[in-house]
């Protein structure tokens, strides 16, 4: 099963690496091509320290780069954004209509609204900031809707940092049925809260640094070092510890978006053809 999914879908899935001003990759997501667009996690909008974003597709060996492009992060989120910004629906759509990606195949989106619990699915994703694409087996273990009415499926399968935005594939049709939204899980939210607490603690400590001395030792500096060590530990746990149950947002809104886009394109084509006939 997984071999067929891999051969059918690997070429359409990309890695998004977000690079800071020093050239260091500070975050990563997975995305995939649909028509001439890139679909990924809404988290792509919330990486303030990013200066560049690299979009990269690989070959069947999971490593050899087949197409890539690096753009300014500001251009990516402002100029290439074509849908789903700040909609709290856990996915976003960007323009991917570039010569570099014209030969990249598109994945299809499943129109089914009801997905049976217990159904086997597959995920294609980049994990832990790695450059190799991987495939994972999972099953639909539950379903729910959040306070905004956005519908999710719960998937029983390991996910890790970098998996947000991954397509969840129906092996029977090779179509995308949902998009991994790992960063909306309780564990991810707890990680974010802890990061905010550490940042607040460091801000307070910097304000009193040097005001207390115990011999030649500044105890505040010791506390600052302790908080930085805790921050590093938290980051590493979040980056490398997999989750056994994750969430994947269903395609209700995104299906509507692409259907409307398809209708719009067909209308424009009809207009062009009519204009062509008129002027002949």
The model's pLDDT over 154-171, given as tens digits with 9 standing for 90+, comes to 999 878 888 999 999 999
Which one, of 32, 165, 42, 53, lies nearest residue 101 by Cα? 32
Are residue 65 and residue 16 in the same domain, yes or no?
Answer: yes
Please return the burial class of 223, using the count of CB atoms within 10 Å of its CB with bins 0-12, 13-18 and 19+: middle
Q: What is the pLDDT of residue 238?
A: 72
Q: At what angle do helices 186-208 and 219-240 cross, to 10 degrees?
A: 160
| Residues 166 and 13 sit within 8 Å (Cβ to Cβ) | yes
**What residue numbers bound the domain in which 197 lies?**
187-238
Place of tokens 């009519």: 274
Q: What is the pLDDT of residue 184?
A: 62
Q: What is the pLDDT of residue 266?
A: 44
Are residue 101 and residue 199 in the same domain, yes or no?
Answer: no
| Residues 27 and 47 sit within 8 Å (Cβ to Cβ) | yes
Give the CATH number, domain containing residue 8.
2.40.10.120
Are residue 48 and residue 153 in the same domain, yes or no?
Answer: yes
Q: What is the pLDDT of residue 87?
A: 55
Are residue 94 and residue 202 in the same domain, yes or no?
Answer: no
Mean pLDDT for back-to-back runs of 10 residues, the chain (280 residues): 94 97 93 95 90 97 97 93 65 92 95 89 90 94 88 87 92 95 69 83 84 78 88 76 80 80 45 40
Residue 81 backbone dihedrals phi, psi, to 5 degrees: -65, 130
Q: Is residue 195 part of a domain?
A: yes
Are residue 193 and residue 103 in the same domain, yes or no?
Answer: no
Q: Is residue 265 part of a domain?
A: no
Residue 199 tokens read as: 């940042």
| Residues 9 and 124 sit within 8 Å (Cβ to Cβ) | yes
Can you give the length of the chain in residues?
Answer: 280
Mapped onto helix, strand or coil, the DSSP state of residue 29 is strand
Q: Is 84 left (phi over 0), alpha (psi -120 to 50) or beta?
A: left
Are residue 219 and residue 199 in the same domain, yes or no?
Answer: yes
Q: What is the pLDDT of residue 16?
A: 96
Residue 96 tokens read as: 């991917």
Number of domains observed in the structure of the chain: 2
Are residue 45 and residue 113 in the same domain, yes or no?
Answer: yes
**Distances in Å between the alpha carbon of 224 and those of 149, 185, 201, 211, 212?**
42, 29, 8, 14, 13
Please return the burial class of 96, using the count of CB atoms within 10 Å of its CB with bins 0-12, 13-18 and 19+: buried
Residue 151 tokens read as: 């519908």
Which one, of 121, 175, 155, lies nearest residue 12 by Cα? 175
Q: Is residue 104 part of a domain?
A: yes
Q: Is residue 87 part of a domain?
A: yes
Q: Is residue 269 part of a domain?
A: no
pTM, rounded to two decimals: 0.80
Are residue 71 and residue 181 in the same domain, yes or no?
Answer: yes
């Amino acid at each position: 099963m997984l071999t067929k999914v891999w051969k059918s879908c690997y070429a359409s899935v990309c890695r998004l690496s977000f690079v800071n001003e020093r050239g260091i990759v500070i975050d990563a997501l997975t995305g995939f091509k649909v028509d001439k667009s890139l679909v990924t996690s809404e988290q792509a909008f919330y990486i303030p320290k990013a200066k560049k974003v690299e979009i990269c597709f690989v070959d069947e060996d999971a490593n050899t780069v087949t197409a890539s492009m690096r753009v300014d992060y500001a251009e990516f989120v402002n100029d290439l954004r074509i849908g789903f910004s700040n909609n709290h629906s856990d996915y976003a759509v960007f323009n991917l209509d570039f010569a570099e990606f014209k030969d990249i195949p598109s994945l299809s989106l499943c129109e089914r609204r009801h997905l049976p619990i217990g159904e086997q699915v597959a995920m294609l994703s980049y994990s832990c900031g790695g450059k190799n694409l991987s495939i994972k087996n999972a099953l639909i273990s539950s379903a729910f809707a959040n306070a905004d009415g956005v519908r999710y499926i719960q998937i029983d399968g390991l996910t890790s940092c970098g998996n947000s935005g991954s397509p969840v594939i129906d092996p029977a049709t090779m179509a995308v049925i949902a998009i991994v939204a790992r960063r909306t899980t309780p564990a991810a939210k707890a990680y974010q809260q802890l990061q905010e607490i550490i940042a607040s603690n460091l801000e307070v400590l910097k304000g009193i640094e040097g005001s207390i001395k115990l011999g030649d030792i500044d105890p505040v500096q010791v506390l600052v070092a302790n908080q930085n060590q805790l921050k590093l530990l938290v980051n590493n746990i979040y980056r490398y510890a997999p989750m056994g149950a994750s969430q994947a947002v269903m395609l209700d809104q995104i299906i509507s978006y692409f259907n409307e886009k398809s209708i719009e394109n067909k209308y424009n084509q009809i207009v062009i053809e009519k204009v062509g006939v008129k002027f002949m």
